Structure 1
Amino acid sequence: MDTISLSGIAAVGHHGVFDFERRSGQPFLVDVELYTDFTAAAETDDLTLTAHYGEVAERIKAMVTGEPLNLIETLAVRIAKDLLENYSVDGVSVTVHKPKAPIEVPFGDVAVSVNRTRADFGLEPVAKNVKDSK
């Protein structure tokens, strides 16, 4: 399985269980790995046969800055589902970091990670990207 990785996608979101988190917002960072087979994309040098990572980053930013959620766990699962529904990838790993979480003790980071496949959301397997007959 081939992997496309994006790390540190940054955006300000309004996620959290406390009113001040939703009102003021705070920074979030997202890391994703997309698992796919880019044999056909590499053979043809065709962007449409792989996941366009610029678009992936924009989708993630829109979800972070979009609807406020109580839990970053919910955000991570929603990002995973969106990427699987919109790109020809077999699976994804998503990590959402909340480095300014309201915790009273010193800490470096808070993060949650999810790993999902198309089957986890009842999606059909990806049709293999093969070149048309030679």
Structure 2
Amino acid sequence: MDKIKVNQMMFYGYHGLFSEENKLGQRFTVDVELMGDFRKAGQTDRMEDSIDYGQVYEVTKEIMEGKAYNLLESLAETIAQSMFDSFSLLETITIYIDKPGPPIPGYYQSVGVEVTRKRDDYEA
């Protein structure tokens, strides 16, 4: 399976359980790994035969900078669903969301969530 990776996309959002997170917001980084058969794109050199990286960014941005979520898990799930809705060539996606300096007791560089979903997970 072929992979397209878009790494370290940065967004400012208001996600979290604590009121200060919802009020002040913070920076988040997101990595996405999109898997599918992109062989035709390699042969034709046509964007229509692949997934547009710029559109991947825009789909992610709309969610990360939109409605506030309590959990990173919910953000990741929403991004996954939106990617499958947006890109018919997408077969599997892995999303990693990183939240630097979380407001929880202790010393942390960051906390994060990684999810992997397949198109079949959304088709009944």
The TM-score normalised by the length of structure 1 is: 0.88
Figure out how many residues of one structure are paired with residues of the other and give that number.
123
User: Offset of 1:104 from its aligned partner?
Assistant: 2.1
Kindly report which structure 2 residues correspond to 1:111-122, keeping only aligned pairs within 5 A, or say none.
111-122=112-123
Q: Which has the larger radius of gyration?
A: 1
Q: Which amino acid aligns with 1:32?
A: V
Q: Is the 8 A contact 2:101 2:108 kept in 1?
A: no
Once residues 114 and 7 of structure 1 are traced to their aligned partners in structure 2, the CA distance between those partners, rounded to angstroms, is 15
Unaligned runs of 5+ in 2: none
Please state if 1:89 is matched with 2:98. Answer: no
Q: Which runs of 4+ in 1 moved over 3 A?
A: none
User: Offset of 1:36 from its aligned partner?
Assistant: 0.9
The TM-score normalised by the length of structure 2 is: 0.95
Kindly report which structure 2 residues correspond to 1:4-43, keeping only aligned pairs within 5 A, or say none.
4-43=4-43
Structure that is richer in strand per residue? 2
- Aligned with 2:110: secondary structure? coil
CA deviation map 1:57-116 (0-9, x unaligned): 121111100000110110011111111111121010001111121122111210000000
Once residues 17 and 103 of structure 1 are traced to their aligned partners in structure 2, the CA distance between those partners, rounded to angstroms, is 10
Of all paired residues, the percent bearing the same amino acid is 36
Q: 1:127 is matched with which residue?
A: none
